[in-house]
Amino acid sequence: MSDNKLKEDLVKVYKEWKDLEKKAGKKIKHHHELKKEEKEDEIQRFSDYAGLSVPITEEMLLYLDEEYFRV
């Protein structure tokens, strides 16, 4: 196999790999956005349940989660 053919093949494979990486990055970002939305929904649902006029912070939710699992 000539060096040029090898380089062409590597470029082709590299382009495919980069496209897959980009798609995976978008999926990770999308997953992160979904997790953030889920966390915001959880905060709002708890705040509504607790009758709070102002939603709790994410830090407070983490604290409450830790306390819940400690018991």
pLDDT in tens, 14-54: 788 778 878 888 777 888 888 999 999 999 999 999 999 99
Domain total of the chain: 1
CA–CA gap between residue 28 and residue 56 (Å, rounded): 27
Q: What was the pLDDT predicted at 20?
A: 84
- Asked if residue 22 lies in contact with residue 4, where contact means CB atoms within 8 angstroms, the answer is no
Q: What was the pLDDT predicted at 6?
A: 78
Nearest-10 crossing angle of helices 3-50, 58-70: 80
62: domain range? 27-71
Q: What was the pLDDT predicted at 26?
A: 79
pTM for the model stands at 0.60
Query: What DSSP designation does 54 have?
Result: S
Asked whether residue 42 is assigned to any structural domain, the reply reads: yes
- Is the pLDDT at 71 greater than 70, yes or no? no
Asked whether residue 12 is assigned to any structural domain, the reply reads: no
Asked whether residue 20 is assigned to any structural domain, the reply reads: no
CA–CA gap between residue 45 and residue 39 (Å, rounded): 10
Q: How far is CA 15 from each of CA 2, 49, 66, rounded to the nearest angstrom?
A: 20, 51, 45
Q: What was the pLDDT predicted at 55?
A: 93
